[in-house]
Structure 1
Amino acid sequence: MMSKLVSSIFRICLLGAFFVLLFLPDRVGITLSYPQYPLSDSLFLRLCKTVFWVLVAVELLRCFYYGVVKNTKRGWVSNLMTLLFPLSLFLIFVEVIFMFVPQSHEGVLSKASQIWWSKYWKPLNALGYRDREPQPAPGKKQVLVIGDSFSAGHGLKTVDERFSNQLEKKLGEGYEVRNLGVSGSDTGDEAKRLAEYPVKPDVIVLQYFPNDIERVAQANGLKITGGQPFDDVKGIAEQVVRRFYLPNFIYWQLPHAQFSTFDQFVEKAYSDSTVLKNHFSDLSKILAYGDSTGAPVCAVFVPFLFQLDKSEGYTRPVEDFLKEKGVKVITLKKEIAAIPEKERIVGKNDGHASAAVNAVIADKLYEIIK
């Protein structure tokens, strides 16, 4: 009996080597390679981790059986094992479950959001857009939607809920709406990607969000200050929260200190004449491309969904600039205000626009384009 107990303990120690390979590869200089790395664990890697935890559970079960159940000499060690064994099995079981639980989150920060991204961020074309392949469609007018994660449909499980896809259905057979949304994109990046896209537009839709000025503002000396994710956990606790699914999920359900002073940053950016001048230069590139292709440009302003008045105040200089250039500007304050706050976003940890807000955007664009 003792030999079987010792052999189980020995196998658990051997599993420690696999633990390092699966959970701490960066600590031993190992670089993994698969399509989503390092953004998320691949399905194969999560399955390998599941097998690892099953093997650990089996060896713990053997230790408990031979160390407690078959042991006639009970002591404090046996009592401690009786307490820890079911707790360990429960934690292993829940950890495995949460390796397959998706939940969208802004910035793909949590492990649950990484699972969500791997599961729902489809289709993905050859250019990296969450859209159909960029092949010409003779006889159809081409509407190109350029924007950031709000255009790409972050948090929406299906692209059918996005405003670009809803708009295409409304416009009918004579139109094709192509989505050039990229999470984290700003106006300068959007101008570049629009010019490089292989399909020429008949209409350009610029989706604008108040953080579109962020990079040009930082390039001109403005800084976002404040804490960063995981700053409020230290040492081993930080590693546990970062690397394991159950602690990571719990961490992102709890309130934390404000990660940044982004609100103050945006207010300064839109009131800084130098920043605005450079930002207008990026916007002018989009307008110039529209002129060169003969495609009219319309701009839809998506506000901070819980700060409608502030957003309108921040981006007013950009609205005025675009109107002066002949761009049709669409604002959504009135329509979004009519939607209950909880129904404006895709989830409690993700402030991106819900399908209901996307429907409002599609309706407003349809009125302009059709």
Structure 2
Amino acid sequence: MNISGDSLLYAVALSLPFFLICLACYFKKKHSPHIGPFWKITIANILIFLILLSTLFLAFESYYRFIYDQSDSFGVTRVSGRWFNRYYHYNNLDLRDNIDYIKKKGGQARFTFLGDSFTAGHGIKNIEDRFANIIRKSKNKEWEIQVFAKNGLETGGELKTLKKAVNLGYEIDNVVLIYCLNDISDLVPNWNKTLHGMYQKAKKQGFLLKHSFFINTIYYRLRIGSNPKFSNYYNFVSEVYSSTLWNFQKDRIEIINNYVKDRGGVFHVIIFPFLHSFKTGYPYNNIHNKLSGFFQEKNIPYLDLLDIFEKYSSYNLTVNKFDAHPNEFAHSLAAKDILNFLEHKHSHSIEQ
């Protein structure tokens, strides 16, 4: 009989408290009369401690294995991996959606949302609660909404995703780039190396780290929290915009803009702020100013969502304490503003 590592570990965790209780009872009945008071108390205390420890481990392991159902920012824990398996379902183009993408329908405007995990709905269990699907439901008979978004994509990957689809016959109409402030990160070799290293090490885990949901969760929370490259991630992103890499990033955005225009499409940009940073003032206004200045200079229609989000606390906007992605409420706020923006721009485009 083939028993998986997960089942084996949980069977041991389930049996251990009962085994220790039986051992304590056996010790009390058979051996305690023949042992001195000091050793009797010491052994009894050790057994009681082990019983309590094993019971606590069983409780936490059961909670993270069967009850806790949340994602985390980097998606590296067992719990987070299970979350994605449960709630991410893919269409004919291997993109997270509940409809297949087919040839463009006549009489309907097509809006292609191009983005990363914010757009894909990282942390959103019901796909109908992400902003793109909310807009689709609102404009069902008039617009065709399609979502070209994957976790981990940044500007370079988003351009490749769009080109790949076009090469397969995908027709461009309106392309909406959902720009997150960390979309510049793939230009930094050291960051790519750090992130790749973490995911590679996650594949080479020891038995406990691999099969215990509790130990796995605590380990990666501590590891990410204690690693300055992760704990200072957002400050690191801010510094990149002050380097020469910002010029390369502007070039890449302009390449996407020209690529869309050359194929008869209209290009728009939506800027998402870092939602975890509204506790004690928002420290990334300089990035928003740079992006706004660039889009104005290039006559690229854009919408900055900072204005609607800064009215709320991060607690009300993010998925959970360990996941800084937008929650259902944040998606609903974004959907309303994005829809108003696109309706205005689209009607203006038709008039012209």
Greater shift in the superposed pair: 125-134 or 203-212: 125-134
Q: Does 1:155 align with 2:126?
A: no
Letter in 2 for 1:259: P
Structure 1 Cα separation of the partners of residues 191 and 183 of structure 2: 14
Could you tell me how far 1:85 is from its partner in structure 2?
Answer: 4.5
Helix, strand or coil for the counterpart of 2:31?
Answer: coil
Structure 2 Cα separation of the partners of residues 157 and 56 of structure 1: 30
Letter in 2 for 1:337: E
- 1:205 corresponds to: 176
> What are the within-5 Å matches in structure 2 for residues 273-312 of structure 1?
274-305=244-275, 306=277, 309-312=282-285
The answer to whether the 8 Å contact 2:238/2:284 transfers is no
Letter in 2 for 1:339: Y
Structure 1 Cα separation of the partners of residues 73 and 298 of structure 2: 33
Letter in 2 for 1:281: D
Q: Does 1:192 align with 2:149?
A: no
The answer to whether the 8 Å contact 1:103/1:115 transfers is no
Structure 1 pair 165–57 and aligned structure 2 pair: CA distance change class (3 A): closer
Let me know the Cα RMSD of the aligned residues. 3.6
Structure 1 pair 169–57 and aligned structure 2 pair: CA distance change class (3 A): closer
- 1:108 corresponds to: 75
> What are the within-5 Å matches in structure 2 for residues 67-216 of structure 1?
68-69=25-26, 72-75=29-32, 76=40, 79=44, 81=47, 84-85=50-51, 87-89=53-55, 91-92=57-58, 94-100=60-66, 101-121=68-88, 123-131=89-97, 132-139=99-106, 140-197=108-165, 198-216=169-187
The alignment covers a number of residue pairs equal to 316
Letter in 2 for 1:161: D
Deviations 1:247-291 (A, max 9, x none): 33445677944632334432332122x312321221122112211
The answer to whether the 8 Å contact 1:104/1:116 transfers is yes
Percentage of matched positions with identical amino acids:
22
Structure 1 pair 85–354 and aligned structure 2 pair: CA distance change class (3 A): closer
2:326 alignment partner, one of 353, 362, 369:
353
Structure 2 Cα separation of the partners of residues 188 and 208 of structure 1: 12
Structure 1 pair 92–135 and aligned structure 2 pair: CA distance change class (3 A): same
2:303 alignment partner, one of 330, 346, 354:
330
The answer to whether the 8 Å contact 1:145/1:207 transfers is yes
Structure 1 pair 91–258 and aligned structure 2 pair: CA distance change class (3 A): closer
**Higher RCO (C-alpha under 8 Å, 6+ residues apart):** 2
Structure 1 pair 85–125 and aligned structure 2 pair: CA distance change class (3 A): same
Letter in 2 for 1:189: G
Structure 2 Cα separation of the partners of residues 111 and 148 of structure 1: 21
The answer to whether the 8 Å contact 1:68/1:74 transfers is no
Helix, strand or coil for the counterpart of 1:143?
Answer: strand
Deviations 1:70-91 (A, max 9, x none): 9842334984556634653553
2:228 alignment partner, one of 231, 234, 259:
259
Structure 2 Cα separation of the partners of residues 59 and 279 of structure 1: 56
Q: TM-score, normalised by structure 1?
A: 0.73
Structure 2 Cα separation of the partners of residues 56 and 264 of structure 1: 41
Deviations 1:82-138 (A, max 9, x none): 6634653553354244223222110113232222222222x2124331113222252
Could you tell me how far 1:222 is from its partner in structure 2?
Answer: 8.6
- 1:342 corresponds to: 315
Structure 1 pair 355–316 and aligned structure 2 pair: CA distance change class (3 A): same
Structure 2 Cα separation of the partners of residues 356 and 66 of structure 1: 52
Structure 2 Cα separation of the partners of residues 292 and 349 of structure 1: 41
The answer to whether the 8 Å contact 1:222/1:269 transfers is no
The answer to whether the 8 Å contact 2:241/2:287 transfers is yes
Letter in 1 for 2:129: E
Structure 1 pair 89–358 and aligned structure 2 pair: CA distance change class (3 A): closer
Structure 1 Cα separation of the partners of residues 155 and 118 of structure 2: 14
List gaps (5 residues or longer) in structure 2. Answer: 33-39, 199-204, 344-352
Q: TM-score, normalised by structure 2?
A: 0.76
Letter in 1 for 2:30: K
Structure 1 pair 270–71 and aligned structure 2 pair: CA distance change class (3 A): closer
- 2:202 corresponds to: none
4+ long deviations beyond 6 Å: 221-225, 252-255
- 1:270 corresponds to: 241
Letter in 2 for 1:173: K
Structure 1 Cα separation of the partners of residues 235 and 47 of structure 2: 53
